[in-house]
Amino acid sequence: MASIEQAITTLREISTEAGYISQAAAVLSWDQETYMPPAAIEGRASQQAILSALVHQRLTSDDLGTALQTLGASDATPTGNPSLAFMDSRLVRQLYRTWKQARKIPEQFIRNLAMATSQGQVAWANARENNDFAGFQPHLEKIVDLCRQKAEYLGYQGEAYDALLDEYEPGMNTTNVEGTFAALAGELAPLVTNCVRQSKNSPIDTDFLSSGFSIEGQQQFAASVMEAMGFSSERGRLDVSAHPFSTSLGRDDVRITTNWSDDLSRGLYGVIHETGHALYELGLGRELPSALASGTSLGIHESQSRLWENMVGRSREFWQHFFGRLQTIFPAKLQGKTADDLYRAVNRVQLSQVRIHADELTYSLHIMLRFRLELALMRGQLQVADLPAAWNAQAKKLLGAEPANNREGCLQDIHWSMGAIGYFPTYALGNLYGAMFMDQAATEMPKLWDNIAHGQFEPLRSWLQTNIHQHGLAKNAGELLQDICGKPLSHQSYIGYLRGKYQAAGKD
């Protein structure tokens, strides 16, 4: 018994130290994206390389392995000895997974992958800038090969893509995603067709939102929204970076960024999205050990950001409350406009080519496109050289047209250049998780939307914290769904939500 306690202490100590070093690395990354002077990049890369190695050493250490063995962790019993208390069993599960996965990948391979993706990102940025796929092709070929190798190191039951997907969304596999996306696509198609036709018949005015909003005014408004959502500047901040992100630098230090333009909706919805991520990290239980103090999967994380951004932030009730405040800050810009004009403008449906500017309804189509292509790449059914043509064909099928060029097509996203194959599906899964959670929240809190219309966001935030945030990695995505909704993942809630919102709008 003494040795069990000792092993738990070892687990906690090693993972806490690794956690603090990871947080330090996160501070460096945050600084790199926000304030770091340009010439500092080389030194910063060396600092980061050493911190990464220090974390890796700890999470693959023999000491950790021995302690996990003492605690009975194995593939058959990932939560270890059945006598362990709940939180300890989850700590064992998480660290056994991390340790096992990290031990499978040789250090030399990690270095090769880091080198290839580091060069790949530079090549991608140039290729996108110059609309030059050929300049990126050899890099992507190498990265796809390395990702296939990585899958072999990690191992899988079904197919190679499973191993990559599992890195980002533990418990999910290719068959699940294919089935879910196929069902979703079938239901989305008529909704999208209706809405696009409707948009053509009675165009929605969105021009008034797209320019002339001072950044200072937008910051003021965004601060009100963040505060209403429950983000406290005691425990976080909002800065500016080229691409919006959210990052946790400590249990009481979660930072978000946005990129202001004079388009009101881009900055605002960026802030709401990232605040949704931040609330998850800020809502983690104080009692969680360091190794469990994190969002449980990318899909669940994305459910929090997209739920706040779209289901709440693009709701009629949101604008019923916030329109007056916005009008006070921008009286001239919004003269003669109503909350309903705002609501319609931020929900206009349009088939477009660029994912990050896509509306809520068509967003998942962009993800399906990427999923199909990266799956085909991993299966060897598609060669990198043929990617532009394959992209354009899928874009025609899913988005109704081919992109004007590769820059707005297969070169638009950074993910593949970073080696992040298997990541995209989590964006769309986030929509499905989010809708399931919101269905349940509305059932448990009949006044939910009434509260939101009155600017009371705390009941929702608190419900999300109690049911999701506080558990961190102690519950995985499947367990959260089971405990909250009593059922596994499905697209039903999401489609129900979209029908309620867009079927009316799409009626002729």
Report, as residue numbers or ranges, the catalytic residues: 274
The stretch among 49-57, 104-112, 333-341, 491-499 that binds a second copy (CB under 8 A) is: 49-57
CB of 35 to a second copy, least distance (A): 6
> Are 415 and 198 spatial neighbours (Cβ–Cβ below 8 Å)?
no
Residue 487, Cα to own-chain centre: how many angstroms?
22
Assess 43 for contact with a second copy (CB under 8 A): yes
The answer to whether residue 235 forms part of the interface with a second copy (CB under 8 A) is: yes
- The encoded tokens of residue 349 equal 């449906």
Instruction: Specify the 3-state DSSP secondary structure of 373.
Output: helix
H helix or E strand, kind and range, residue 392? helix 387-399
Q: Decide: is 508 part of the binding site for a second copy (CB under 8 A).
A: no
SS3 call for 451: helix
Stretch that binds a second copy, among 33-41, 139-147, 368-376, 492-500 (CB under 8 A): 33-41
* Closest to 502 in 3D by CA, of 196, 245, 221: 196
Q: Distance between CA 176 and CA 170 in Å, rounded?
A: 12
126 contributes a contact to a second copy by CB under 8 A = no
44 or 344, CB closer to a second copy?
44
- Interface with a second copy (CB under 8 A), residue from 10, 15, 23, 476: 23
Decide: 282 and 256 in contact? Cβ < 8 Å.
no
CB-wise, 167 or 239, nearer to a second copy?
239
DSSP string, 227-281: HHHT--TTSEEEEE-SS--EEEEETTEEEEEE---S-HHHHHHHHHHHHHHHHHH
Tell me if 207 contacts a second copy by CB under 8 A: no
Q: How far is the CB of 236 from a second copy (least distance, A)?
A: 6
Q: Identify which of residues 215 and 356 has a Cβ nearer to a second copy in the complex.
A: 215
Cβ distance to a second copy smaller for residue 97 or 235: 235
Max CA separation in the chain (angstroms): 74
Question: Restricting to residues 249-268, which ones interact with a second copy according to CB under 8 A?
Answer: 249-253
Q: Would you say 240 or 445 has its CB closer to a second copy?
A: 240
Number of residues that bind a second copy (CB under 8 A): 35
Q: Residue 458 is inside which H or E element, if any?
A: helix 458-467
51: contact with a second copy by CB under 8 A = yes
Identify the residue among 35, 134, 175, 381 touching a second copy (CB under 8 A).
35
- Cβ-proximal residues to 354 (8 Å cutoff; 6+ apart), any chain: 408, 412
Q: How far is the CB of 194 from a second copy (least distance, A)?
A: 46
Q: At what angle do helices 107-130 and 41-59 cross, to 10 degrees?
A: 140
Q: Any idea what DSSP says for residue 85?
A: -
The reply on whether position 478 binds a second copy by CB under 8 A is no
Closest CA to 343 of 259, 507, 436, 453: 453
202 sits near a second copy (criterion: CB under 8 A): no
Side chain identity, residue 383: Q
Would you call 284 helix, strand, or coil by DSSP? coil
Query: According to the binding rule CB under 8 A, does residue 234 interact with a second copy?
Result: yes
3-state secondary structure of 337: coil
Alpha carbon 32 to chain centroid distance?
20
| 153 lies in the binding site for a second copy (CB under 8 A) | no
According to the binding rule CB under 8 A, does residue 17 interact with a second copy?
A: yes
Least distance to a second copy from the beta carbon of 40, Å?
3
Residues β-bridged to residue 246: 256
Residue 445 makes contact with a second copy by CB under 8 A: no
CA distance 105 to 251: 30
**Residue 46 touches a second copy, criterion: CB under 8 A:** yes
28/110 with CB nearer a second copy: 28
- Residue 122 interacting with a second copy (CB under 8 A): no
Residue 111 interacting with a second copy (CB under 8 A): no
Q: Give the span between the Cα atoms of 213 and 223, in whole angstroms.
A: 15
Segment near a second copy (CB under 8 A); pick from 35-43, 87-95, 207-215, 314-322: 35-43
Which span sits near a second copy by CB under 8 A: 5-13, 230-238, 371-379, 459-467? 230-238
**Applying CB under 8 A, which residues contact a second copy?**
17, 20-21, 23-25, 27-28, 31, 35-40, 42-44, 46-47, 50-51, 54, 232-237, 239, 249-253
